[in-house]
Chain A
């Protein structure tokens, strides 16, 4: 028992020392070297929820919206997208934060994906907010491994983009195959209904809501998954305005879904122009 007591006490001491270190050297807090997509999502959620990032425009989505940083005139904007996640998770987080924007843009390409309960529960659990205000050591971005990596000034691991392009068709075919496998229409409807419930909640609160279907590779529009999702979106969210489709020029993706850097810039400009007209 003496051993256990000594160990637990020392661990609390270490925890306190680490908290003091973070307060003493704030430059090591909230840096950008993330360990994984999962961590990136959590950091994004925590930053939004705990730092009370109130914005006029919030865009919720998946990895397809990654890097779509909007900069409309005289209004602030925030992209709350979750890699491998869903727009629903972003919507739920906005609702729980009570930081309602004036305009809400919802990416609809993967609207059938379920809510990430674990992420929401981790970030919004009762009491956690108070603990975080006392000790930042429990924030995802302040994990000792992240702090150490930021001290090392490491860049991202090398990925051969040329080879990645060579695999484009191979990858695309795999994705099309996966999207044409068994589709559970009931679960698609269930998730889109959940989105619809939140959309109408936001509309009641005076938020302008827009649906946004991001451009993808042309062969991905005809998959069973996308067709089912689109039909369900039309069924449950037909009253909601949509951002007009981008038709000016063909946009390129790196893997069928995600914009190349050049196309991303073009689409950001397009969205910004649209928002400025509102």
Chain B
């Protein structure tokens, strides 16, 4: 099927203005398997206004669910701040915060104790107006959903906001699980630069 809505074919030469018009550009597409962290290096220079990442993941750890986290430039200094709002089952929604942490929570993923090996979590994370040459704080916002069974209280949605509070130029993003498990085959992260 042709890619409807974009009137060029593979290999065409087009004016660069198309690229600015299109908004999102893929920076990296990775499928970690059997590793505890996934590093994505960002392109050098002032190419993008910010970044977005769509992801799906599962952890090898023997848990029903674990938290996905991200790190700025691989740094594990206690400078990550996060606010979360959770919905599960019919319970009253709960908010929580994490201050001065070594990584920032940004998603939920099922683990080896989930009811089926096909349970994966997913979500999207935005780092708006975080440019590779600016320095300053890296604020982010994210949503996620994960299901570890078919029974009440085993489905979760969460939304997050937070930041890395030490500044510096942003050169990479690292994803890892809070519990230290490995990414399972089928996990995938696609990072987009926002023009």
- Are chains A and B native binding partners rather than an unrelated pairing? no
